Structure 1
Amino acid sequence: MIRHAALAVLLASTALGTSAMAQSPVPAPSMSEAPGGGFATSDATDPYIWLEEVEGERAMAWVAEHNSRSLGTLQGDPRYQPLHDAALAIVEARDRIPTPGFNRDGTVDNFWQDATQVRGLWRKTSLDSYRSDAPTWETIIDVDALATAEGQNWVWRGADCLEPDERLCLVSLSDGGKDAVVVREFDTTTKTFVENGFNLPESKGDATWIDADTVLIARDFGEGSLTSSGYPMIVKRLKRGQTMDQAETLFTGQPTDVSVSANVLRDADGAIQAIFINRGVSFYETETHRLNADGTTTKLELPAKSSINALVAGQLVVTTDQDWTAPSGQEFRAGDVMAWPLEAWLANPATTAQLVIRPGEREAIEGIRATRNKLVMVINENVRGSAYVYTPGAGEWTRERMDLPQNATVSVGSTSQTDDRVFVSVAGYLTPSSLYLADATTTSADVLKSLPAKFDATGMSVDQYEATSADGTKIPYFVVHRDAMAMDGSNPTLLYGYGGFQVSMLPGYSPTVGKLWLERGGVYVVANTRGGGEFGPRWHQAALQENRQRAHEDYQAVAQDLITRGITSQPHLGIMGGSQGGLFMGAMLTQRPDLINAAVIQVPLFDMLRFHKLLAGASWIAEYGNPDIAEERAWIQRYSPYQNLRAGQPYPEVFIHTSTKDDRVHPGHARKAAARMEELGYPVLFYENTDGGHAAGANLRETARRLALEYTYLTRRLMD
């Protein structure tokens, strides 16, 4: 999907539940006035701003000292090693489903990591071989061997291959897991990097083919070429043999933009139909410009909040995230999917569009992909997925439901451009993932591969409940538990949340959650709060900017509901979330610590008065607001966890972890959170992986270590 924006009943009141409810909560911040105190409200009043020096000597000494202490505590626990061994066995297992991608020559490719290939293999095989229990794979690139040969800590970031023959590819490699990548031209026939081929130095941004001798690049071209968010502001056309300095500038955005990028729209045969340059004005608002043959550009008439999803049978498919009146006079609503005949629309923006679908109140479009002749769309209905096949017609688009299991999460993978086949994955919290090969022409689907059970789910079930948020909104959430779960507040319960950027928290099969938590008697809960995309763009937009506190209240309402129902109680309730979810954890910690006894705070946002000044933070102003504007700073300061940490509160010991190599969410957030809590006298476990990027795991062994640390901590806090 080409995203225009730059970028988951029984009421019981028991002794334990009532006791937890009777505690005096920390009052939620007043939404009419910002808290006083002045801690870290400016650079001068932030005593830990030096921890933002990512690899500064003093900062890294602080990290080393905290790593030593935290690893000593958690790895010294006798439960750590068994948890680590179980996690490592899962992440390195060879009986996982290899995620396939269609190639035009009839083969499928896959990127694979295991105990032997820690960094991974890019490989391919025939579809018939893939169907077998033991496919015969042909290696294209061995990342482990490449890293060893070049003395680099390479992390695979994908390849863009030139259509239609797909011989030449632009391969992206990250140093230690950073978002910034180097891009190098690779020949899949000779299996070598092309001598004197395209070779772009490390940068955030992208590169895409026009033809065998021409690429479009959005990179760091030196001083003045990046936005305030740290992403490219300029798109250039680079010819073979040219240096980046010699590339022709095609488009320049504004420093206040999030980013500028380019994409080439091709038909099912690989022929170029249009070249678009996308100016990300904010995280959710984008201008799309068509590159004309003479090198000029023309701004297209599209909603600012929209996505170009696909080109199928000459129809350009677009989703709008806002109410919009088209040049034709047609009225569209946020969430609508519409389509224009591309050639006619480019010639005349007032061309009439067809409404493909208008989702219902409890529906959301989760994914759209095109095969050669069809459109395959995943629609979530009350946070349960279904796949539909849409066929363009002269009057209206028709649809048929794909023959797949119900009440599960459905995701569409690679689609074929030579016919109408599509890979579809189906999974649930207790249902191991299955991969289907579907035919969009007949809507039939056959199971290709199924993941064997990775934990014993015997006697477990999944329930969906609703909590009532502070403003009366019903917030759904899933509870995964043993059938014999006692409703007396005694169950160790882990509540996961994210709540931002229109990301849906959908049921999925997690072998590590199952093995390291559920199988050991834990209860796992996922909150579907506002800020996510579970019910479309309006569900997300209800918690934007000045309304961010609604999402925090939604999450807190779920925590309270778990206690009210007797599923758990404060001594046994822990929370977990990362990135935006880390902000969620911080808000729960500072606003309702009376509800929880553990918090795993992963690569978090925490200092929301400075988030826009750190790495990619400025790109998220559309989500949170701008701290440099007084009115917006006031609403941000009311919930910013770093500024709202206080002495004398019932904060539990927390586990905060981050990565030095994370070039998206600055590790300073996590470091400063830990330092401030320690200053106030609270116990803190802090760990920083010196590689790993935003995912905090550059390879499988580091991932296993992180998982073992998290679940050792949770065991100590909630099960002991």
Structure 2
Amino acid sequence: MSWRNPSSRAITACYRPCRDPESRLDQRSRRLVRQNGAVTGDVDSSVNDPAGKVPIDDPYLWLEVVLDEQALDWVRERNARTKEEFATPERFQALQSSLRAMLDTDDRIPAPGRRGQYLYNFWRDAEHVRGIWRRTSMAEYRKSEPNWDVIIDVDALAEAEDENWVWGGATVFRPSQERALVSLSRGGADASVVREFDMTARAFLAPDAPDHGFYLPEAKSSIGWIDIDTVYVGTDFGPGSLTESGYPRIAKRWRRGTTLDAAETVFEGDPADISVGAGYDRTPGYERHYVSRSTDFFNHESALLHPDGHLQPIETPSDASESWYKNWLLVRTKSSWQVGEDTYPSGTLLATNFDEFLSGERHFEVLFEPDAHTSLYQYGWTEHHLILVTLSDVQTKLAVLTPGPDGWARSELSEAPPMATTTVANLDPLESGDDYMMTTSGFTFPTTLLAGTLGGELELLKQEPSHFDADGLIVEQFFATSLDGTQVPYFVVRKPGASGPTLLGGYGGFEVSRTPGYNAGNGIGWLSSGGISVTANIRGGGEYGPQWHTQAQKSGRHKVGEDFAAVAKDLVTRGITTPAQLGAVGGSNGGLLMGIMLTKYPELFGALVCQVPLLDMSRYHKLLAGASWVAEYGDPDDPDEWAFIKEYSPYQNVSKSASYPPILLTTSTRDDRVHPGHARKMAARLEEYGHNVWYYENIEGGHGGASDNAQAAFQGALIYEFLWTQLNR
């Protein structure tokens, strides 16, 4: 475990496999509706949920049945209406073509993933709509036109197998790199099929073949190598193997040549846990097996797994992030941690000797301590050094820490440009020494990829071309004052002194930081037309460390909306825009934010775009992956927590009499993370009350909303055309 991005935490989920994914999804959605207060067909809107705490008065529950023909007819009708209104003008067609050309161009940087001597890349373009997985050497990658070795052509595979495959990633066995565990999803869903691939023969290994390839049916599984013949796996093993949230409850060791049913259980969590997993650290001389259980989205427990099955807990705070490299244990706190007479504040990075820590010693060295303006963004090991990336008022700085007999020496790594984000990638301490790569991008200049070895010079590897004319554009940072006096930063991209149609973006959740970066689609679709672009760094994110997030969890959720509203008001006060010319866009948790803006602050906006959103917060925890987010939002089945959730839940707060700005809701039928029923039901209720609402649902795409470049270009053009039309009336 050598690299951590402290602003995110990933967990996996699984569902019962089925050979027909559409049938499986339909059956699951019907089951969810039946279990939680309604039946398919005629809906009795008077029933209460099973806990008897949140009354269900919802005539649109039938729209939660994802593949019900009545629901799909409803979707098709609204899709057609939206396309007729916004997808036919000449401006839309030109914009769609420009976005498609940008996505398909061969001039993009092929983002590398370093694995020893190889650089891997997944690539889509006009010729490879579904994409190709390929690799090359560092020497070849340096060339303007590298010679790529194509490993898997997803287009050819989908055609040969008559499947709607979308690439889901691959885990290569190391160091030999002779095998890979490849994930493929149908239509872009989170759930995927996992198949073992022979990198030499360039063929998938069937479970019944002589080599007995590892294979998992469609599910949200987790799987990782131990050795060439053994993996750790978490999936749906049958009744009782999932948590109440629908994630793996059991981790097993699975040996080649045996059935999945015969895999050996190494760890079981509780039904109330979010998920469990197991892994293997292959660092020579420091090999370790470990398990982890997530008790909620932000709290977990980890332990080393010894050969006799004994678990040795790693006794760090459950909300902290721990990682290790060789015999160093790193702990990044999320809340204040008192150890003996020492207290370490939230957002601190600590280091200690791992073996000594396991034996009970609690001596830490402070590697980073936050202040009012600075937080830790990334950290990771090379063979001999630790690289830190920090945010200072949402702008990055880099440093190198080197452990030695006299403590840790510190030096600056590189000067990062202002109004930009610089990050470090492709650290591979076991096979690539002190080599590293660095990417830098800003709102007005595209990504630069550099490479080097610590102590040496940086080499320019690739430069992304400009996809829009940024001449004359400037980037400014301002601060808005939120309702409680908190200073909330935001970035504005515009021509000097310009005012007019403005697009404001935000997220505000799960400690996800919104940092400066090149967005070619936004440049083509908005800035090039003379629009002004704004990025808000509201609470709920991680821009100022964990406390910037935790103060907006659960009962503090109102601060997210207050911060975003404060930025909207500040833009008007500064003369940058007017309410009629101010639009906002957000997706997923940001889609929830857009729903709150619509129902709580409608007077601040001229138009809103709400993508793959959460909106019915009385039922979010009952739909798909929603139960895992209770630690972020609260539990609607708890009367005390429902009391604050209902105050902002958009679906419950739609008013017949209010005056709302026009809104475009988008989602995906194949989104198996945030249920499309949220967007469907919100659109239906807004329609019922006579509000100006537009709706578009893509059949594919999963939570990302699109499964290929053509779909992404269409949706991008649709959104920008909608906003430009509404804000230029």
Q: After TM superposition, is the score higher than 0.5?
A: yes
Work out whether 1:63 is the aligned partner of 2:72: no
Distance 1:45 1:342, change over 3 A: same
Q: Which amino acid aligns with 1:189?
A: T
CA distance in 2, matches of 1:441, 1:274: 30
Deviations, residues 131-186 of structure 1 (Å, cap 9, x unaligned): 11111111111111111111111111211122222222111111111111111111
1:272 is displaced (CA, Å) by 5.6
Match of residue 207 from structure 1: 223
Gaps of 5+ in 2: 12-45, 207-211
* Contact 1:379-1:386 at 8 Å conserved across structures: yes
Match of residue 258 from structure 1: 274
Name which of 650, 654, 657 aligns with 1:645. 654
Work out whether 1:291 is the aligned partner of 2:291: no
* Correspondence 1:448-527 to 2 at 5 A: 448-486=461-499, 491-527=500-536
Work out whether 1:425 is the aligned partner of 2:434: no
Deviations, residues 649-692 of structure 1 (Å, cap 9, x unaligned): 12112100000111110000000110000000012110100110
Match of residue 36 from structure 2: none
Work out whether 1:595 is the aligned partner of 2:609: no
* Contact 1:384-1:409 at 8 Å conserved across structures: yes
Work out whether 1:248 is the aligned partner of 2:264: yes
1:298 is displaced (CA, Å) by 2.5
Range that drifts further, 539-548 or 373-382: 373-382
* Contact 1:362-1:535 at 8 Å conserved across structures: yes
CA distance in 2, matches of 1:564, 1:374: 47
SS of alignment partner, residue 225 of structure 2: strand
CA distance in 2, matches of 1:95, 1:387: 28
Q: Which amino acid aligns with 2:581?
A: H
Match of residue 27 from structure 1: none
Distance 1:430 1:677, change over 3 A: same
CA distance in 1, matches of 2:405, 2:553: 39
Deviations, residues 511-560 of structure 1 (Å, cap 9, x unaligned): 11011100110000010001000000011111011000011100000001
CA distance in 1, matches of 2:346, 2:128: 45
CA distance in 2, matches of 1:5, 1:652: 35
The two structures have a TM-score, normalised by structure 2, of 0.91
Work out whether 1:229 is the aligned partner of 2:229: no
CA distance in 1, matches of 2:726, 2:186: 35
* Contact 1:496-1:577 at 8 Å conserved across structures: yes
* Correspondence 1:242-641 to 2 at 5 A: 242-267=258-283, 269=284, 273-311=287-325, 313-326=326-339, 330-346=342-358, 348-407=359-418, 408-417=420-429, 418-442=432-456, 444-486=457-499, 491-641=500-650
CA distance in 2, matches of 1:523, 1:39: 47
Of all paired residues, the percent bearing the same amino acid is 44
Work out whether 1:193 is the aligned partner of 2:204: yes
Name which of 164, 186, 209 aligns with 1:175. 186
* Contact 1:546-1:635 at 8 Å conserved across structures: yes
1:249 is displaced (CA, Å) by 1.1
| Cα RMSD, aligned residues only | 1.9
CA distance in 1, matches of 2:169, 2:424: 18
Name which of 37, 47, 64 aligns with 1:52. 64
Match of residue 658 from structure 1: 667
* Contact 2:252-2:265 at 8 Å conserved across structures: yes
1:57 is displaced (CA, Å) by 1.9
1:387 is displaced (CA, Å) by 2.1
Name which of 87, 99, 110 aligns with 1:87. 99
Deviations, residues 316-364 of structure 1 (Å, cap 9, x unaligned): 22212121234x6643221111122233333x13242322211222112
Name which of 99, 108, 131 aligns with 1:120. 131
Distance 1:329 1:275, change over 3 A: farther
Deviations, residues 226-255 of structure 1 (Å, cap 9, x unaligned): 122221111011111111111111111122
CA distance in 1, matches of 2:541, 2:497: 31
CA distance in 2, matches of 1:168, 1:213: 10
* Contact 1:581-1:604 at 8 Å conserved across structures: yes
The runs of at least 4 consecutive aligned structure 1 residues that moved more than 6 Å come to 38-41
SS of alignment partner, residue 453 of structure 1: coil
CA distance in 2, matches of 1:174, 1:365: 34
Deviations, residues 278-324 of structure 1 (Å, cap 9, x unaligned): 1000000001122111123232211101223441x531222121212
Match of residue 31 from structure 1: none
Deviations, residues 537-586 of structure 1 (Å, cap 9, x unaligned): 01111101100001110000000111111100011000000000001001
CA distance in 1, matches of 2:629, 2:639: 17
CA distance in 2, matches of 1:241, 1:343: 36
1:445 is displaced (CA, Å) by 2.0
1:6 is displaced (CA, Å) by 5.5
CA distance in 2, matches of 1:5, 1:340: 22
Gaps of 5+ in 1: 8-37
* Contact 2:54-2:637 at 8 Å conserved across structures: no
CA distance in 2, matches of 1:329, 1:314: 25
CA distance in 1, matches of 2:452, 2:344: 31
The two structures have a TM-score, normalised by structure 1, of 0.92
1:43 is displaced (CA, Å) by 6.0
SS of alignment partner, residue 392 of structure 1: strand
Q: Which amino acid aligns with 2:482?
A: S
The structure, 1 or 2, with the larger RCO (C-alpha pairs under 8 Å, 6+ apart) is 1
Q: Size of the alignment, in residue pairs?
A: 680
* Contact 2:539-2:552 at 8 Å conserved across structures: yes
Q: Which amino acid aligns with 1:79?
A: R
Match of residue 711 from structure 1: 720
SS of alignment partner, residue 648 of structure 1: coil
